[in-house]
Chains A and B, each alone.
Chain A
Amino acid sequence: MNLTLKIWRQKNISDKGGFKDYKVTDISKDMSFLEMLDVLNEQLSDKGEDPVHFDHDCREGICGMCSLHINGKPHGPLQTTTCQLHMRSFNDGETITIEPWRATAFPVVKDLVVDRSSFDRIIQAGGYVSVNTGGVPDANEIPIPKRIADEAFDAATCIGCGACVAACKNASAMLFTSAKISQLAMLPQGQVERKERAEKMIAQMDSEGFGACTNTGACSAECPKGISLSNIARMNREYFAASVSSENV
């Protein structure tokens, strides 16, 4: 395959940045999208040019590190991570536009790399269960119905890649935050800090500069893990219930 790549290049966080066109030739249909970018970067390195910077880690679709807004969609045309996207999803001779994710809370660090530590700070605000040290409890000491365990697990499959923010017209982090609140709100271990968690995580989410939810459903439609919109409804319930009943005046 021969392709034209229209890639966002930006030197650093304060640079204005702009698109630059590149040509890649003899790309195999079986290559992953990131392997195609590796080919481009080898070419650029050989020529002594600065390679295109992009985030990646496991390349197995489980770490949430890769990003990229490809042809107007986060993670490209399929509902998967960019590392699991293959070149057979594109046509020979096609022009592919690659942009970084756009959000105030995700500043562009360089080229296609964005700083997603705003997600980490939302987790730090309350996305955990405080456990006193001591002996490890027996596996089935706390009974949890299978249905609840499954639902909590579905929410917990969120890999925090930020595709929801990238897809949302408001750059809202509701799907991410709601998944993280839900996975703990449904389980007995999460009950102690339940109200405090909802209040703190949403306050942090707002202070990071993410937008509000318009319920377009774009986040869930683009989420590589298919996190459901029902989590956002649950987060709203958790938050409103916590607001009226918590001890936090």
Chain B
Amino acid sequence: MSWVTKTLNSTLGKKLLMALTGLFLILFLVVHLAGNLQLLLPDEGESFNIYAETMANNPLIKVVSIGNFAFILIHVIWAILLTKTNKKARPVSYAVSNASTNSTWASRNMGILGTVILLFLIIHLRGFWYEFKFGEIPTIVYDGITYKNGFAIISEAYSNILYVIVYVVAMGFLGFHLSHGFASAFQTLGLNHVKYSPLIKKVGSIFSIVIPALFALIPIVMYIQTL
């Protein structure tokens, strides 16, 4: 299978991996958001807690979540590999650069945006994912069945204004990352067409605003509720 590694090791192949993992992570964002919006239902977290428990015990979701971690890792590692190749391609930089006239800021700074998102992800996973999996979680009983009360941990975290600010700012970075990444992934896959490319660009712009905004809304609303 040497031709597979040869293809994936080319600059185009590396970008292919970035695009495919990126598109999967975009899909994950939608599913994650749909689940988390249940935090805002006026039922003291009942639907969220039941949903979280169901997800944690579903074998299919377990497999997908392992894939999700793997794809994040591939997206990060290949980004580092590509950045190294790209830096090596221009060891001496220009004294004067006027790049703002030919490209967007986000497109030129995907690495910086991604690094901030990765840092946020570590904070996020430590604060919630790790606590849910390995931490001491209070329990709550609905209809005679005991559930982990994840809602309690989340609402406690979001009563801290600093935590809320970190989340909202991180979503801003995610928005900029998506504003380029969404359409760019399709271009890398070779999906460029006069009929669909303008549509992909538009959907990408809307996606990069709406999804991070809805994510940011959760800590903001939950913080206001604790006041």
Contact = CB atoms under 8 A, between A and B. Distances in A.
A206 B13 CA distance: 11
B3 A243 contact: yes
Interface stretch (A26-34, A37-45, A120-128, A214-222): A214-222
A230 B190 CA distance: 8
Nearest to A203: B10
Nearest to A17: B92
A86 to B, nearest CB: 19
A233 B107 contact: no
B12 A236 contact: yes
A159 B182 CA distance: 31
Interface of A: 6, 19, 69, 71-73, 97, 99, 102-105, 167, 169-172, 174, 202-203, 205-206, 209-218, 221-222, 229-230, 232-237, 239-240, 243, 248-249
A167 B100 CA distance: 11
B159 interface: no
A104 B91 contact: yes
Contacts of B102: 73, 167, 216-218, 221-222
Contacts, number: 139
Interface residues of B, number: 43
Nearest to B189: A236
Nearest to A223: B102
Contacts of A237: 190
B11 interface: yes
A171 B90 contact: yes
B57 interface: no
B188 interface: yes
A19 B85 CA distance: 27
A23 to B, nearest CB: 19
Given A206-B11, A236-B187, 9 more contacts: A71-B96, A72-B97, A167-B102, A169-B86, A209-B89, A213-B15, A214-B86, A215-B188, A239-B12
B22 to A, nearest CB: 12
Contacts of B63: none
